[in-house]
Amino acid sequence: MQSKIQFILSMIIFGTIGLVVRKIDLSSSERALLSSLIGCLFLTVLFFMMKKKISWHLMKSNASILLFSSIALGGNWIFLYQSYDHTTIANATLGYYFAPVFVMILSPIILKEQLSLKKVVCIMVAILGLVLIVGEGLSASKTEDLLGLFYGLVAAAFYAALLLLNKFIKGMEKLELTIIQLGTTAILLMPYVFLTSGFGMFNVSSASIPFIFILGIFNTGIGFWLFFSGMEKLKGQSIAMLSYVDPFVAILISALVLQEQMTMLQMLGGALLLASTFIGEIKSLTFLKQ
């Protein structure tokens, strides 16, 4: 029960990211840099308080994959935060939750996994859901919404790449892996941020500062700690089911807190998208399975 509570709490925390990001008056790359840096420092302190040690030999043997996965993590956050700036949190979240579809499509090529009939149907239903969301945006000529949804899909592609790359990392425990990826992401983003934004990041408004620390410590540090602590003793099916607390919370915040509107067609599209990815991840549903 404790593991489930920890995992659900992590999903609730992740579901509030859009709301927190909206309160920070910085570019998406600057927000990504600060969240990865602060989150890395917080988790590093926690890691050593737990009397754990970094496995340097494992770091070395996984160095190339760690580098590419950190690039994927940075791209994921930059485009996700950019998505929140251009569309509703609900649309950004739905676009981002296309990541499992990308994983299903790429798994036969990269992981040499068989693509079952069930997954093919799930992919088609997810694409139909996305078409309904995008089509409604086109009919209303909401170019900002479409741009935001596009950024959400790019973030999903980076996240799918991160998930697939992590499959090739051998021997490292999840918390250690997260610290290294966050730290590497921060190091990689530093030159990019300073070349594109200069030192403007240090002129951030005083109103944004508390939310920067909330994003780094709460949403990134504590969120990931609870995520991996909970996931450690949960079965894959439970993880897949409970993961949908995240988009549920994000969509609730979008509708109830921010009063952002969704049309009936967009809600139907969102339901199809989430349901198809959920069914695609549940192994025990054997109907349509070859």
- 229-265, pLDDT tens digit by residue? 887 777 766 777 788 888 889 989 998 888 888 778 8
Q: What is the pLDDT of residue 140?
A: 54
Confidence at 54, pLDDT banded by 50, 70, 90: confident
Residues 99-125 have a mean pLDDT of 83
CB atoms within 10 A of CB 7: 24
Q: What is the pLDDT of residue 287?
A: 33
Q: What is the pLDDT of residue 185?
A: 95
Confidence at 280, pLDDT banded by 50, 70, 90: confident
Query: Could you tell me the sign of the dihedral formed by the alpha carbons of 144, 149, 179, 238, in that order?
Result: positive
Q: For residue 43, give the nearest of 171, 174, 168, 164 by alpha carbon.
A: 174
38 domain-assigned: yes
Residue 45 has pLDDT above 90, yes or no: yes
Report angle CA 272, 239, 132 to the nearest 5 degrees: 15
In the predicted model, what is the mean pLDDT of the chain? 86
Q: What is the pLDDT of residue 83?
A: 94
Give the Cα separation of 23 and 16 in Å (integer): 12
Residues 8-23 have a mean pLDDT of 94
130 domain-assigned: yes
Q: What is the pLDDT of residue 195?
A: 84
- How much of the chain exceeds pLDDT 70, in percent? 92
150 domain-assigned: yes
170 domain-assigned: yes
Residue 290 has pLDDT above 50, yes or no: no
289 domain-assigned: no
96 domain-assigned: yes
Helix then strand count (H, E) for the chain reads 15, 0
Domain residues for the domain of 190 are 2-281
Confidence at 205, pLDDT banded by 50, 70, 90: confident
Q: What is the pLDDT of residue 260?
A: 86
Angle between helices 89-96 and 117-139 (to 10 degrees): 150
What's the DSSP call for residue 202? G
Give the largest Cα separation in the chain, rounded.
57
3-state secondary structure of 142: coil
Confidence at 138, pLDDT banded by 50, 70, 90: low
Residues 134-150 have a mean pLDDT of 72
Residues 33-39 have a mean pLDDT of 95
Residue 169, class by beta-carbon neighbours within 10 Å (0-12 exposed, 13-18 middle, 19+ buried)? middle
Confidence at 283, pLDDT banded by 50, 70, 90: low
Q: How many domains does the chain have?
A: 1
288 domain-assigned: no
Residue 26 has pLDDT above 60, yes or no: yes
264 Cβ contact partners less than 8 Å away, ≥ 6 residues apart: none
286 domain-assigned: no
Report angle CA 267, 32, 93 to the nearest 5 degrees: 5
